Chain A
Amino acid sequence: MNRLEAVNDFVVKFANVNGSGSASANELFAKAILRMGVPVSPRNIFPSNIQGLPTWYEVRVSERGWLGRRGGIDMMVAMNPQTWDQDVREVQPGGYLFYDSTRPLPPESFRKDITVVGMPVTAICNATYEDPRQRTLFKNIMVLGALSALMDIEPEVIEKLFGEQYKGKERLLESNVRALHAGRGFAKDHLMSPQQQGLGLKVRRADRVGDRIFLEGNAAAALGCVYGGATVCAWYPITPSSSVAEAFMAYCRKYRHDAQSGRANYAIVQAEDEIASIGMVVGAGWNGARAFTATSGPGVSLMTEFIGLAYFAEIPVTIINVQRGGPSTGMPTRTQQADLLSTAYASHGDTKHVMLLPQDPAECFEFSAAALDLADRLQTPVFVMTDLDIGMNQRLCKPLAWDDSRAYDRGKVMSAEELEAGRDFGRYKDVDGDGIPWRTLPGTHPSKGAYFTRGTTRNPYAVYSEAGPDYIYNVQRLMRKFATAATLVPAPELRAAARKTRLGVIYFGSTAPAMDEALEALAEEGIHIDALRLRAFPFPVAVEDFIKGHDHVFVVEQNRDAQMRSLLINELEIDPEWLIKVLHFDGTPITARYITEAITKHVHALAVAPRRERIVS
């Protein structure tokens, strides 16, 4: 049998039962490899449930630094009998299956083309521990120990991680170390032979991580809100966004208490629903505080009436939309980029909203802080469109950066002095030609600058009016403002192919790491494509230029209806023929293999397959 052999380049998947304590052991596995200088990219695949249902943790190990999902599993650590058949099926030929052999399984439960490694973990734990809780918890650590021996993961690294995790809890530290070594010992004595030193999948110390950091997008977004100066956060729990508010709370407790008084420089309210969350954010934004909420698609649906009000009454609002799968409850613990249209045009009447599209936690940080600035500058709702894949998985990314000389852009707020000096104030008047009016904050001046905010039409001086020309003035000015937004949002990133090509690809958000890898794989096949990563909506001019500069442009996205493609067609009036859909929407993150195959197929179908001499360079 052909055994898969690989060093620092493989995919391991852990199949567990949720609520069994497997998550922290799995994370240790990933982090230990990372500490050995080898990039990893783990993904939680979990159910909407607290205890008892299947959950998976897929770790991609890639010395070359590919952080997207590759597709295919080289080793399955199958600890969940419920999903056994499916898990065994998923292993690549020549791959490995590690399982708990306490209860013998009939031979037909296995495959002949994979290497099976059985360890009676339950039996060992039952013999070692009295306490049933310990029996379960240490099972995971024993497995980790065995894997570390089989795959050459340095035990000292894991011990150091234990030390950090159980700082000040010596008893816990010791028992974990003991369990780790018990697992290692068993593996050495029973699972390895002089001929076969463990598995063909090995980790070898490298230096490919650099100064990169490892964190979840939701935590990064929360930190972006802390750095960006958010003082009011109103939220309602919804997977996969809840950890944004929770992380904001934790960071604020640490970094946002007044040095002298010890009191809070922030206010966080867990509202009764998403409608109240956005209402509070609207109220705070109207009153000059930087405010945000974090939610997911169903939450945005509930918020749409307020989003329309904020758009039309021109109130700064920041909304972090951690997208999940499906309409309705859909796939609440799976990932998609399927809220693009419903967010871009959220609410009744003619509305359009600014969306930022981060690719990883570093951009979640950067764009959340930027969104607070943009919302103030543009006096409108600004959405940070992240997703479950970025938000709830730890991802390797460049270190978070902040320039201390950076000042918050509070936008056009007229001061008491300016009002006193007799400066003309028309709340909805375009005085600068950019469509953005000036505003005043409540309580500013005793006799000047007060106005009545409403969703109803008014004239440029905020006086109620349902006159057609007043309405048209307003909504056309809002269009002008939207055009201004296109010049202020993060610009798209262009990556030119190694050689001149008529093909282009547009992608964004969590697709980025898989796309990076796919582009290289395609280039190796001789398919050269210029790539443009969108980072925001409305589309800056460069996007239209890119499309028009290519004969065919693929649009890769993670939804059924090609929503980004629709936005491009709609906003840029592009001929639909120009844009070729590449869609992935089963709720798992898109893989490099999927993109490569889809684009290759299309390229052949387009009969633009490169000639042989173009491949051989």
Chain B
Amino acid sequence: MTYIAKPRLHHPSLVPNKVGYTRRDYEGKVSTLCAGCGHDSISAAIVQACWELDIEPHRVAKLSGIGCSSKTPDYFLGASHGFNTVHGRMPSVLTGAALANRDLLYLGISGDGDSASIGIGQFAHAMRRGVRMVYIVENNGVYGLTKGQFSATADRGSKSKKGVVNPENPVDLIGLALQLGASYVGRGFSGDKAQLVPLIKGAVRHGGAAFIDVISPCVAFNNHAGSTRSYDHVREHNEAVARIDFIDLAPEVTADPAPGEVFELKQGDGSLMRLRKLHDGYDPTDRRAAMNLVQALSEQGEIATGLLYADPEARDLHQALDTVEQPLNQLQADRLCPGADVLARINAGLR
């Protein structure tokens, strides 16, 4: 349970980052998830990405829906405010929070039940609205907390722990996000931290709606033979489209790979993502190409992972609404209230 106190041992070898925090400062409470749960690896990747990016923990707001994945914000970034909202409705709460204060980093954590079933509407609309956020779905194809029912992302033909074969087609959140206008779309695997950390870092620096679908096997209910979300299955069928390096604001030029094989993707804030192509014809700035590639790999039973699409020119909801620079929650009456004189004029016009 989450009231177990976590020992706060500060190992002398813990290195502080540029803003003076060690990796430990980005951790949260002890996880209450099952041992070996993929979600804990994702929490660890979030911790590492935020530490490496020198983000002050209290400038992050973590929001989630309901489910195993949605419990995880308690297990990382303990110095950040968190909000465990209602099932499937995290995107709207995050949208409202982001409208209130544009200066924080919004981390939305959800699961496949939370985002692809009950919350598919809110997922879709948050993507099309371009809310600036990092939206991570910890996707295991199963309902864990309620003990093993299929979720909407379970593949057709996949077998449940009880031996039931899923007769329905899966929802592919990646395809949806691409189609709905998400401006940063990637897929990771909780078992591949080397890929996941730069993927999250890129999303953090992105200027619009960033979505990462992370395949995260459920060791309790969906890690058996016949499941298409087990560690073994995902390892065998994981097809990374590119190898990613993320280079924060001041890019260092390292050994240049051969031209033509590398994509340098500049993010809104000037940081750089460097992608080494693994697939012919893969262009991470081409939405249509990304959709085609994901579809083609899916038809072969492969799971495309890596950064699938990013729009370096992405805009967000605040830009669309043309809101002031200063966060709306800091505006005072002098800027909000038109005052008694204006009201007298309004009254005069209503006679």
Query: Which residues of A come within 8 Å of B, CB atoms?
Result: 209, 211-215, 223, 226-227, 229, 231-232, 234, 255-256, 258, 261, 263-269, 271-273, 275-289, 291, 305-306, 309, 399-404, 407-408, 440-447, 450-456, 463-465
Judge whether B9 is part of the interface by a CB distance below 8 angstroms. Answer: no
Please provide the 4 A-B residue pairs with the shortest distance between their CB atoms, ordered closest to farther: A279-B92, A283-B96, A289-B100, A280-B96
Which B-chain residue is minimally distant from A452 (CB atoms)?
A: B82
With both chains docked as a complex, state the minimum distance between the C-beta of A235 and any C-beta of chain B, in angstroms.
12
Q: Are the CB atoms of A451 and B350 closer together than 8 Å? A: no
With both chains docked as a complex, state the minimum distance between the C-beta of A451 and any C-beta of chain B, in angstroms.
7
* Residues of chain B with a CB closer than 8 A to A465's CB: 3
Complex CA gap A286/B104 in Å reads 13
Q: Are the CB atoms of B58 and A445 closer together than 8 Å? A: yes
With both chains docked as a complex, state the minimum distance between the C-beta of A406 and any C-beta of chain B, in angstroms.
8
Q: B323's contact among A263, A442, A444, by CB below 8 Å, is which?
A: A263
Q: Are the CB atoms of B96 and A402 closer together than 8 Å? A: no
Q: Which of B57, B63, B336 has the most CB of A within 10 A?
A: B336
**Given known A-B contacts A255-B338, A286-B93, A400-B346, A232 and B122 have beta carbons under 8 A apart:** no
Q: Are the CB atoms of A446 and B58 closer together than 8 Å? A: yes
**Given known A-B contacts A271-B92, A443-B104, A289 and B329 have beta carbons under 8 A apart:** yes
Main secondary structure of the interface of A (DSSP, over half): loop
Complex CA gap A407/B61 in Å reads 29
* Residues of chain A with a CB closer than 8 A to B92's CB: 234, 271, 275-280, 282-283
Q: A265's contact among B74, B95, B324, B343, by CB below 8 Å, is which?
A: B324
With both chains docked as a complex, state the minimum distance between the C-beta of A107 and any C-beta of chain B, in angstroms.
45
Q: A305's contact among B86, B121, B325, by CB below 8 Å, is which?
A: B86
Judge whether B337 is part of the interface by a CB distance below 8 angstroms. Answer: yes
With both chains docked as a complex, state the minimum distance between the C-beta of B251 and any C-beta of chain A, in angstroms.
28
**Given known A-B contacts A232-B328, A400-B347, A456-B84, A276 and B323 have beta carbons under 8 A apart:** no
Summed over the interface, the residue pairs from A and B with CB atoms below 8 Å come to a total of 231
* Residues of chain A with a CB closer than 8 A to B61's CB: 287, 442-443
Q: Are the CB atoms of B335 and A283 closer together than 8 Å? A: no
Q: Are the CB atoms of B95 and A269 closer together than 8 Å? A: yes
Which A-chain residue is minimally distant from B21 (CB atoms)?
A: A446
Which A-chain residue is minimally distant from B93 (CB atoms)?
A: A283
Complex CA gap A306/B331 in Å reads 26
Q: Are the CB atoms of B96 and A404 closer together than 8 Å? A: no
Q: Are the CB atoms of B343 and A281 closer together than 8 Å? A: no
Q: Are the CB atoms of B100 and A291 closer together than 8 Å? A: yes
Q: B329's contact among A209, A269, A441, by CB below 8 Å, is which?
A: A441
Number of residues from B at the complex interface, CB < 8 A? 64
* Residues of chain A with a CB closer than 8 A to B122's CB: 272, 275-276, 279
* Residues of chain A with a CB closer than 8 A to B338's CB: 226-227, 255-256
Q: A266's contact among B98, B328, B337, by CB below 8 Å, is which?
A: B328
* Residues of chain B with a CB closer than 8 A to A281's CB: 96
Q: Are the CB atoms of B101 and A269 closer together than 8 Å? A: no
Q: Are the CB atoms of B328 and A234 closer together than 8 Å? A: no
* Residues of chain A with a CB closer than 8 A to B323's CB: 263-267
Complex CA gap A165/B84 in Å reads 51
Query: Which residues of B come within 8 Å of A, CB atoms?
Result: 1-3, 56-59, 61, 63, 73-74, 78-86, 89, 91-101, 103-104, 121-122, 124-125, 129, 317-318, 321-325, 328-329, 331-333, 335-340, 342-344, 346-347, 350-351
Complex CA gap A265/B350 in Å reads 25
Q: Are the CB atoms of A282 and B93 closer together than 8 Å? A: yes
With both chains docked as a complex, state the minimum distance between the C-beta of A362 and any C-beta of chain B, in angstroms.
10
Complex CA gap A444/B103 in Å reads 12
With both chains docked as a complex, state the minimum distance between the C-beta of A299 and any C-beta of chain B, in angstroms.
14
With both chains docked as a complex, state the minimum distance between the C-beta of B99 and any C-beta of chain A, in angstroms.
4
With both chains docked as a complex, state the minimum distance between the C-beta of B281 and any C-beta of chain A, in angstroms.
35
* Residues of chain A with a CB closer than 8 A to B317's CB: 267, 269
In the complex, 5 of the A-B residue pairs with CB atoms within 8 angstroms, ordered by the A residue number, are A283-B99, A287-B97, A288-B329, A441-B81, A443-B58
Which A-chain residue is minimally distant from B347 (CB atoms)?
A: A399
Q: B95's contact among A255, A280, A288, A452, by CB below 8 Å, is which?
A: A280
Q: A443's contact among B59, B91, B93, by CB below 8 Å, is which?
A: B59
**Given known A-B contacts A265-B324, A464-B1, A272 and B93 have beta carbons under 8 A apart:** no
Main secondary structure of the interface of B (DSSP, over half): helix
With both chains docked as a complex, state the minimum distance between the C-beta of A428 and any C-beta of chain B, in angstroms.
14
Q: Are the CB atoms of A255 and B84 closer together than 8 Å? A: no
Q: Are the CB atoms of B129 and A269 closer together than 8 Å? A: yes
With both chains docked as a complex, state the minimum distance between the C-beta of B350 and any C-beta of chain A, in angstroms.
4
Which A-chain residue is minimally distant from B70 (CB atoms)?
A: A454
Q: Are the CB atoms of A442 and B81 closer together than 8 Å? A: yes
Which B-chain residue is minimally distant from A35 (CB atoms)?
A: B351
Known: A276-B92, A450-B79. 10 other contacts (CB 8 A): A213-B351, A258-B324, A265-B331, A268-B321, A276-B122, A280-B93, A441-B101, A443-B58, A443-B61, A446-B79
Q: Which of B2, B98, B328 has the most CB of A within 10 A?
A: B328
Q: Are the CB atoms of B81 and A440 closer together than 8 Å? A: yes
Q: Are the CB atoms of A280 and B99 closer together than 8 Å? A: yes
Q: Are the CB atoms of B85 and A289 closer together than 8 Å? A: no
Complex CA gap A403/B100 in Å reads 26
**Given known A-B contacts A289-B329, A400-B346, A464-B3, A261 and B324 have beta carbons under 8 A apart:** yes
Which A-chain residue is minimally distant from B83 (CB atoms)?
A: A453
**Given known A-B contacts A402-B337, A453-B83, A232 and B96 have beta carbons under 8 A apart:** yes
Q: Are the CB atoms of B347 and A283 closer together than 8 Å? A: no
Complex CA gap A227/B337 in Å reads 5
With both chains docked as a complex, state the minimum distance between the C-beta of A433 and any C-beta of chain B, in angstroms.
26
* Residues of chain B with a CB closer than 8 A to A453's CB: 81-84
Which A-chain residue is minimally distant from B89 (CB atoms)?
A: A279
Q: Are the CB atoms of B89 and A276 closer together than 8 Å? A: yes
Which A-chain residue is minimally distant from B335 (CB atoms)?
A: A265
**Given known A-B contacts A269-B99, A279-B89, A289-B100, A400 and B56 have beta carbons under 8 A apart:** no
Q: Are the CB atoms of B84 and A455 closer together than 8 Å? A: yes
Q: Are the CB atoms of B324 and A263 closer together than 8 Å? A: yes
**Given known A-B contacts A229-B337, A452-B73, A464-B1, A279 and B321 have beta carbons under 8 A apart:** no
* Residues of chain B with a CB closer than 8 A to A278's CB: 92
Complex CA gap A455/B122 in Å reads 19
Complex CA gap A432/B97 in Å reads 28
Q: A272's contact among B99, B104, B125, B324, by CB below 8 Å, is which?
A: B125
* Residues of chain B with a CB closer than 8 A to A404's CB: 339-340
**Given known A-B contacts A267-B328, A280-B92, A214 and B85 have beta carbons under 8 A apart:** no
Which A-chain residue is minimally distant from B59 (CB atoms)?
A: A443
**Given known A-B contacts A263-B324, A276-B122, A232 and B100 have beta carbons under 8 A apart:** yes
* Residues of chain A with a CB closer than 8 A to B125's CB: 271-272, 276
Q: Which of B59, B83, B322 has the most CB of A within 10 A?
A: B83
* Residues of chain A with a CB closer than 8 A to B74's CB: 452, 464
Which A-chain residue is minimally distant from B103 (CB atoms)?
A: A443
Q: Are the CB atoms of A443 and B101 closer together than 8 Å? A: yes
* Residues of chain B with a CB closer than 8 A to A451's CB: 81-82
Which B-chain residue is minimally distant from A283 (CB atoms)?
A: B96
Complex CA gap A447/B59 in Å reads 11
Which B-chain residue is minimally distant from A405 (CB atoms)?
A: B340
Complex CA gap A383/B212 in Å reads 38
Q: Are the CB atoms of B340 and A402 closer together than 8 Å? A: yes
Q: Are the CB atoms of B93 and A229 closer together than 8 Å? A: no
With both chains docked as a complex, state the minimum distance between the C-beta of B167 and any C-beta of chain A, in angstroms.
29
Complex CA gap A234/B96 in Å reads 8
With both chains docked as a complex, state the minimum distance between the C-beta of B134 and any C-beta of chain A, in angstroms.
15
* Residues of chain B with a CB closer than 8 A to A446's CB: 56-58, 79
Q: Which of B78, B79, B99, B101 has the most CB of A within 10 A?
A: B99
With both chains docked as a complex, state the minimum distance between the C-beta of A253 and any C-beta of chain B, in angstroms.
11
With both chains docked as a complex, state the minimum distance between the C-beta of A367 and any C-beta of chain B, in angstroms.
16
Q: Are the CB atoms of A306 and B101 closer together than 8 Å? A: no
Complex CA gap A384/B58 in Å reads 35
Which B-chain residue is minimally distant from A209 (CB atoms)?
A: B351
**Given known A-B contacts A287-B329, A446-B79, A232 and B85 have beta carbons under 8 A apart:** no
